[in-house]
Amino acid sequence: MGDFKFMNALTSQYSPVRHTEILMIEDDPQDVEIVMQLLEEAHQNSILLSHCSTLNAGLATLSKANKIDLILLDLSLTDTQGLDTFRKIHDAFPTIPLIILSGNSDERIALAAMQAGAQDFLVKGQFDSTVLSRAIQYAIERQHQKLELEYKNLALKALSDQLERANRELESLAAVDGLTRVYNRRRFDEVFLAEWNRLLRDEKPLSLIMGDVDQFKAYNDTYGHRAGDACLEQIARAIAKVAKRPADCVARYGGEEFVVILPNTDLAGATYVAESIRSAVHSLQLPHTTSSVSHRVTLSFGVACQVPDDGMAPSLLIEAADRAMYAAKESGRDRIQVHHADCAINLQSRHTLQWVSRIRDALEKNQFELYAQPIQALQAPTSEPCFEILLRLCDQPGIVCSPSLFFPVAEQYDLMPRIDRWVIKHLFAELGEINALMLQEAIFFVNLSGATFKNMEIASFIAEQLARYNLKPEQFCFEVSETVALNNVEAAAKVTRALKKMGCKVALDDFGSGLSSFTHLKKIPADFVKIDGSFIKGVLDDDLSRGVVEAIHHVSKTMGLQTIAEYVESLAILDCLNDVHIDFAQGHYFGPARPLVDTLATWQTSTFTECLPA
C-alpha cells in the first residue's frame, strides 16, 4: 500500500470546511496524482488527503482513523470490483459521505450507486478542478443535512414516545377518582357511550343505577370533611363489591353521587342489583345522627333501562335514571325508584327538545353573541394581536349561556355545522365593517366542530365569506381538536389543507386530551398547537403535567409549530410557562371572554394610548 498525505492551504469560494480529511481508495498512483493536482488548482483550504491502494487497506484505515470527512472510491481495485466495492465500504461506514471515481461511464452504474447511498459519481478524465471541488463540498454538506435530519427524526420519535408514555400514565390516572378509587365521570362517559353503541348493535338492554347519599351536607357539617371523605370511600367499596361482573362499571358521578352501568341487564335485574347495593350500604352501619331519614347513612337510587335505539340520544337514559333518583328522594329517601316508561318517549319531549328548540330559534333569530378572549404572545416574535372567538347564547333577558350547556345537545341533533357557519358568517360580517377602523390587523382563532370536518363544503363557504366581506385569509386561524382530527384524520387533513391553501392558519386544539402522539397528526398542516388546559392547570404542583407540557412544546418546535397554553389563571403559572418558553398564553390572567366588539374596542383604546407621545 502506498500511503502519503497532501496538505494544501490555499483558499477558494468552493472550499469545504477547514481541515477536511479525505481518504482516497485508488490502485492507480497516476489517478491519485491527478486528484492532488486538481485540488491544488481549485485553491482548497487545508485538505488532508490519505491514500490506500486496496479495499482491505481502506477498511483498516477507516477503522483506525479518528475522523474521515469523505471517501473517494475507485470501483475497480485489485481485491474487489464493481458496486460490491461500494457496498462493502458503505455498509461498514454508512455515515461517511462517499464519491465514486470510475473509468466506466455507464449511467446505469452511476444510478445504482446513487440509489445505494453514494453522494456523487465522477467519471475519470471527465471532470476538472471546479467540478471535483464542488462535488466534495456538496457531498459533505448533503451528508451533514442527512445526518441532521436523521437526528431530528430520532429526537422527534424519542419525544413522541416520551409523550405517549406520559399520556398512558395520565390515562390510567385520569380514569380513576382520586378519593374513592372507582372510575371517575370522564371514564363513565367513555364506558357508557361504548356500551350504548355495542348494545345498539346487539339489540340488548342497558341499565343504569344512579345513587346519591342522603343529606350528605349535614353529614359533613356534623362529622367534618375528612369523615365525609372516608364515608364516600366505604360506600364506593360497598357498591363495587356488588357490581363486580367484568363488564359492570362503578363510577363517582359527582360529589356524593355514584352511577353503575349494567350491560345486558334488564330492568328487573338492575332493580335487584340496586337493592343489593342499598343493603350493602346499610350493613356498613355508618352513623348519621343528623339525618331525618335514619340514624345511619343511606342512599336514594334511581334505576332506568333501555334497549339502545338509533333515533334516541344516549343522554336520555342518564336523564331518566337521574329523574328516578330525585323522585326517590322526593318520596322520602333511602329507597329505589324505577323509571318504567320508555326513556325516549318520556323525556325527549321535555328538557332535551327544549334545548333543541332554543338552539334553532337562536340560529334563525340571531340570538347568539360572539365573544372574544385575548391570546398573549410570550416568546413568539409577533406584533399582531390574537383573539379566540367564543360563542354565547343570549335568548333570554339578562342570561348568558355558556356553550357547555347547549353544545352537547347541538352535537346529538347535528346542529353544530349550522352553528359553525353562523359564527363564521357573523364574525366576518362584523370584521368587514370595523376592519378599516382598526389600528392594526389582528388574528382570530375560530373553533370548528367535528361534524363540520366531515365534508369539504366548509372550505368553500369560508372562501365565499372572505370574498364577500373583503377579508384577508391570513387573519384567521381555524382550530381542530386533537380528538376530532384523530377520529377522521383523512377528512380533517383534506379540509385543513384547503384552508391552508387559501391562506388561513390552522391550530390543533386541546392537544394531549386525546392521548395520542404527533406521529398520528403529521397529515394535519398545523401552524399552532394549543396545549390542553388540564395540563396547564397542573404545571405548578404536578411534575407529570409539567413534563407533558415540556414534551409537547419540544416536539412542536421540532416540527416548526408554535405553542399556545390555555387556562393561564395566575402569574405563577405564567412564570412557569415562560421558563418552558411557550410561545403564547390564554386565560383569565390576561382577561376573561367578553363581547367581541367590547374586546376590540378595549384593545384599540389601549393600543392608541400606547402610541401617544409621552
Q: Which residues are catalytic?
A: 256
User: Which residues are CB-neighbours of 91 under 8 A, at least 6 positions away?
Assistant: none
Rounded Cα–Cα distance for residues 188 and 200 (Å): 18
Geometric angle at alpha carbon 475, from 470 and 477, rounded to 5°: 125
CA gyration radius, the chain: 34
Rounded Cα–Cα distance for residues 19 and 601 (Å): 62
Rounded Cα–Cα distance for residues 520 and 555 (Å): 13
Rounded Cα–Cα distance for residues 260 and 269 (Å): 13
Helix, strand or coil for residue 468? helix
Give the C-alpha distances (Å, rounded to integers) separating 484 from 54, 451, 508.
60, 9, 10
Give the C-alpha distances (Å, rounded to integers) separating 517 from 289, 307, 395, 529.
52, 36, 41, 12
Helix, strand or coil for residue 445? strand
Rounded Cα–Cα distance for residues 398 and 391 (Å): 16
| Beta carbons of 372 and 600 less than 8 angstroms apart | yes
Residue type, 59: L
Cell numbers standing for residue 566: 390555555
Rounded Cα–Cα distance for residues 292 and 336 (Å): 17
